[in-house]
Chain A
């Protein structure tokens, strides 16, 4: 029985490229990875939004209305529903004049019990040091 920890770092803004959404869909796939592993082995996924990547977390995205696409917001809510550790860099929110009021903090309507954590960058670097592998998107 062992655990491999993966850290997904999202740096790019939403909708300009596919990267942020791929980060979330890959992170979410950690929930079904057991089919490839031995009993008891697991892969965990922590997701951190930094730099312009924090813009992915804005509330009330209109991706479905404008592009007929599922929004990054929905993917973040699905991540919370699946108990992924979702972190957002506080300094980068401040830099963009954003606060917890502007971003997806929970997914109560989905039945999620965990919430987004707005944390200082030092906490994100701590996570980055603790994981086995880092993936930058």
Chain B
């Protein structure tokens, strides 16, 4: 099985790119692949806990938590998060926070890197 590194820089609300990236992660994990998921820029919005699911907005906290339970490694850019007021205290349990070199280190031995840019 392979390793997929996904980087997504788009916001949770206002873009469907994170929805796509999470669904892709789920499909890859379902097939037995390892997935490292990096969020940076506005994508760090995904890391906040307490997201409320409304039908008119993307709500990814539950699927992300389920995927973490299946082995997804998901990490937010710490500086991007802090700049937006997303601190350690309001980060979803299990969601890691690192500097940008974590993403590049994950790419080091990834079979594929899928980078999904920001807005």
Contacts and interface: CB of A to CB of B under 8 A. Distances in A.
B104 to A, nearest CB: 5
A32 B117 contact: no
Given A6-B107, A18-B41, A41-B108, A35 B118 contact: no
B108 A137 contact: no
Contacts of B9: 18-19, 22
Nearest to B107: A133
Interface string B85-115: 0000000000000011111110111101101
A37 B109 CA distance: 10
B111 to A, nearest CB: 10
Contacts of B99: 29, 32
Interface residues of B, number: 23
B117 A19 contact: yes
Interface string A99-137: 000000000000000000000000000000000111111
- Residue among A17, A25, A133, A136 with most chain B CB within 10 A: A133
Contacts of B102: 36
A6 B100 CA distance: 14
A4 interface: yes
- What are the 4 closest A-B residue pairs judged by CB atoms, nearest first? A36-B105, A29-B100, A133-B113, A135-B115
Interface of A: 4, 6, 17-19, 22, 25-26, 29-30, 32-33, 35-37, 41, 43, 45, 132-137
26 contacts: A4-B107, A6-B113, A19-B41, A19-B117, A22-B41, A29-B100, A29-B103, A30-B101, A33-B104, A35-B101, A36-B101, A37-B108, A41-B108, A43-B105, A43-B107, A43-B108, A132-B107, A132-B113, A133-B107, A133-B112, A133-B113, A133-B115, A134-B113, A135-B7, A135-B115, A137-B117
